[in-house]
Amino acid sequence: MIELFPEGFAELDRSEVTELVAFTDEAGTDALRARFDDVRVEPVPDGWESEWKRFHRPAEVGALWVGPPWEVPRPGLVPIVIDPGLAFGTGAHPTTRLCLELLQSLDPASLLDVGCGSGVLAIAACKLGFEPVAAIDADEAAVEATRGNAAANGVAVDAWALDATSGALPGAEMAVANIDSRTIERLRLSERTRVLVTSGYYETERTAREGFEHVDRLVQEHWAADLFRRE
């Protein structure tokens, strides 16, 4: 979807499936049908801007507020403002919320965000006192989105493009990976990494890391996040 619609797409709230939507033209519709088997096309109604904004609702997780620029943060919460222009997410997805919840339960340390997307987790870590914070993603557009959102939030995130499965990961005391269970199991973590937060998969899936002890699991809307510590 990022390749087909770099200008943006959205994820609908569904409890048991993942549904993505893009506002596009006939050429975009043809590209969708060529790439995916299950495609539904509906005419865009008047007032589509309001509908698009509905897909990017703010999220409140513990002491954090995560949302798009047109929303007003709730007083008393730490604001994380994410521009969804490149559609890597504004923090409303359950896996993001679960990772944010786990991060708030941990003592700040150096952190690596693996598969950073829009930079939500990396930026949240900075605002929670983690430092230094680094972020990697295989997609250059995601890296640029992370850099831009970090600057807009006034925090320092060292972000660059890197395939997380191509070799050993950069060193950090903690790593967070909101990607998928297969990729997580292939990550070559640094010996410095003592704590690992993972998500991006359903609660029916279980992931494991050799040398790490599983210490906690959170579940929300059929999605799961896990906390590991090095034995």
pLDDT tens readout for residues 183-220: 999 999 999 999 999 999 999 998 888 899 999 999 99
The verdict on residue 122 lying in a domain is yes
Domain span holding position 157? 92-230
189 and 105 part of one domain: yes
- 213: helix, strand or coil: strand
138-177: b (≥16 Cβ within 10 Å) or e:
ebebbbebbbbbbeebebebebeebebbeeebbebbbbbb
Cα gap 167→163, rounded to integer Å: 8
pTM for the structure as a whole = 0.79
The verdict on residue 163 lying in a domain is yes
The verdict on residue 63 lying in a domain is no
Q: How many domains does the chain have?
A: 2
Q: Can the peptide bond before residue 132 be classed as cis, meaning omega within 30 degrees of 0? A: yes
pLDDT band at 87 (very low <50, low <70, confident <90, very high): very low
Q: Specify the DSSP element, H or E, that contains 111.
A: strand 111-114
The verdict on residue 84 lying in a domain is no
Are the beta carbons of 215 and 227 closer than 8 angstroms? yes
Per cent of the chain over pLDDT 70 is 89
The verdict on residue 66 lying in a domain is no
pLDDT band at 54 (very low <50, low <70, confident <90, very high): low
Q: What is the CATH number of the domain that holds 204?
A: 3.40.50.150
- pLDDT tens figures, 66-75: 988 888 999 9
Q: Is residue 114 over pLDDT 90?
A: yes
Are the beta carbons of 208 and 199 closer than 8 angstroms? no
Q: How high is the mean pLDDT of the chain? A: 88
pLDDT band at 61 (very low <50, low <70, confident <90, very high): very high
Q: Which of 60, 88, 57 is nearest to 71 (CA)?
A: 57
Q: Which two tokens stand for residue 201?
A: 């998969």
